[in-house]
Structure 1
């Protein structure tokens, strides 16, 4: 008989690529993970992993078992959800990982709404970018991730996750007030090809949006200044240090002193925000109200622009 917790460990090793990284994500020791993998190989009668200088890879048998693992773990999540519904679960803790702007504009209003409609649900929030929050969901460190599309993100049809679209928002150009293009109502990105740029660090999903938008405009941005804090980005632009692309919601409430904020001419670069949970958990009686509250908060803030329908 195969133990489900060992399947969870197998998936973590496949996701993270090394025993050490999987152990850290699961709050286990590397030796414990290795022991569980060895036990799983004994249970199945097959060699499941190959260890190399660069980490761990699955054997053909391991890949077969991993494909079934996604289905088994999703079924167990669904079983937990149905049992919780049977028990009429109305109280409990739901953990949500979200990026800073998402916390302020979507997660916080959702918490306020839940306090009035579902006071038994306690939401605990962790600040994390999308490229970190999705692995946190898969590793069961949090229940819900509010994330954005980014290069390398799990596909919309990923068998491990169920996704709920929240909103799509454009990026606006932020220029020094004295920039020649600041007099324009809309700024063509190609006109900024020779400027110094201010942008997020590589790894931040917004970094990919900025770089790809500039590539589509025919140039590679000269990223001279780096910050993941959009307040700092706007301040640097206002000081004449360079130009930037900033999500429109991140500009709300900021003082753009010395900077000009203009829409991008043509098709604006866009970030698409979604909530994600482990597949099978989307119907959990504690998680479902949180997803609904996040969706409603996004509609209230962004006027219902949820972008293309993307679901798990």
Structure 2
């Protein structure tokens, strides 16, 4: 069996490019690092490094061994993290990312319940857009994330990530209180031809959603403003300078001079999901947070009905 400590030393030498730098990073002496490499070469019956006057480089055998070492050490780090959490969720950490409307509703409720039950777990929260943080989840920098997809707009794809559906919500139309359609029980998109629209910006993966939804009804929207914040979008609608789509999750606070109506005949929808890494067993912290997010989503749906 190969000794993990020696493999870690070889990886550090590969990263630092010299015995001396690796020794400093590991708090070893250069002699101790050289001895570990020599012992590993004897175990492998192969030359793993080529020593130069001022640097060191991996041989092909050394490169292959370091590639495998990366995976081994990553798995050990994951095991260590999970073992810290297993004992009644009394330790460890949970790193979660969310988009704003879910963060203000589903995630806020789930985090509150989680912290009350497991106060020793270190919680870290990142807020942004899924296209900004899903790659971080895939790289192991986060433990789970909230994401979404809209009708007509495919979700961001990453084959290493697994999605679990939490809820589906209809997109609503926000109008200023003095709008000609504000007193109607619902609104047809076709009745909004020629209106100035407020949409998400090109930074967002769902920038085209408004255009897609309007095209389904036979017209091209006239985009007046591009805003990625629903609260700012509400303020602009209330000011009378445009109309916009709002998801139900963003309606926990509503501008007082706003009228929000369902869309007929077929309201476009947004689906919210929780995302984890596909091939990685869930830690107790992740399992518990997913349970609480499911509960928060069910409560949200029940309140809506």
Q: TM-score, with normalisation over the residues of structure 1?
A: 0.68
**CA distance in 1: counterparts of 2:297 and 2:227, whole angstroms:** 26
Alignment partner, residue 86 of structure 2: 88
Residues 125/219 of structure 1: CA separation in 2 closer, same or farther (3 Å cut): same
**CA distance in 2: counterparts of 1:108 and 1:115, whole angstroms:** 11
Residues 135/39 of structure 1: CA separation in 2 closer, same or farther (3 Å cut): farther
Alignment partner, residue 189 of structure 1: 189
Alignment partner, residue 247 of structure 1: 247
Q: Residue 114 of structure 1: CA displacement?
A: 0.9
Q: Secondary structure at the match of 1:147?
A: strand
Alignment partner, residue 231 of structure 2: 231
**CA distance in 1: counterparts of 2:92 and 2:240, whole angstroms:** 49
**CA distance in 2: counterparts of 1:94 and 1:179, whole angstroms:** 46
Alignment partner, residue 303 of structure 1: 302
**8 Å CA contact retained: 1:81, 1:283:** no
Alignment partner, residue 274 of structure 2: 275
Structure 1 segment 41-52 matched on structure 2, within 5 A: 43=63
Alignment partner, residue 16 of structure 2: none
**CA distance in 1: counterparts of 2:62 and 2:223, whole angstroms:** 52
RMSD, aligned CA: 3.5
Q: Quick one: which of 128, 152, 155 aligns to 1:153?
A: 155
Q: Residue 186 of structure 1: CA displacement?
A: 0.8
Q: Secondary structure at the match of 1:218?
A: coil
**CA distance in 2: counterparts of 1:41 and 1:170, whole angstroms:** 57
Q: Residue 281 of structure 1: CA displacement?
A: 3.2
Q: Residue 178 of structure 1: CA displacement?
A: 2.7
**8 Å CA contact retained: 1:170, 1:270:** yes
Bigger relative contact order (CA 8 A; separation at least 6)? 1
Q: Secondary structure at the match of 1:211?
A: helix
Residues 82/229 of structure 1: CA separation in 2 closer, same or farther (3 Å cut): same
Structure 1 segment 1-312 matched on structure 2, within 5 A: 43=63, 80=78, 84=82, 88-89=86-87, 90=89, 91-149=91-149, 151=153, 153-155=155-157, 158-257=158-257, 259-303=258-302
**CA distance in 1: counterparts of 2:230 and 2:112, whole angstroms:** 25
Where do 5+ consecutive residues of structure 2 fail to align?
Answer: 1-6, 12-57
**8 Å CA contact retained: 2:85, 2:92:** no
Residues 135/77 of structure 1: CA separation in 2 closer, same or farther (3 Å cut): same
Where do 5+ consecutive residues of structure 1 fail to align?
Answer: 7-37, 45-68, 306-312
Q: Secondary structure at the match of 1:303?
A: helix
Deviations 1:35-91 (A, max 9, x none): xxx9899957xxxxxxxxxxxxxxxxxxxxxxxx9xx97xx7699469835983421
Q: TM-score, with normalisation over the residues of structure 2?
A: 0.69
Residues 171/83 of structure 1: CA separation in 2 closer, same or farther (3 Å cut): closer
**8 Å CA contact retained: 1:82, 1:284:** no
Residues 216/165 of structure 1: CA separation in 2 closer, same or farther (3 Å cut): same
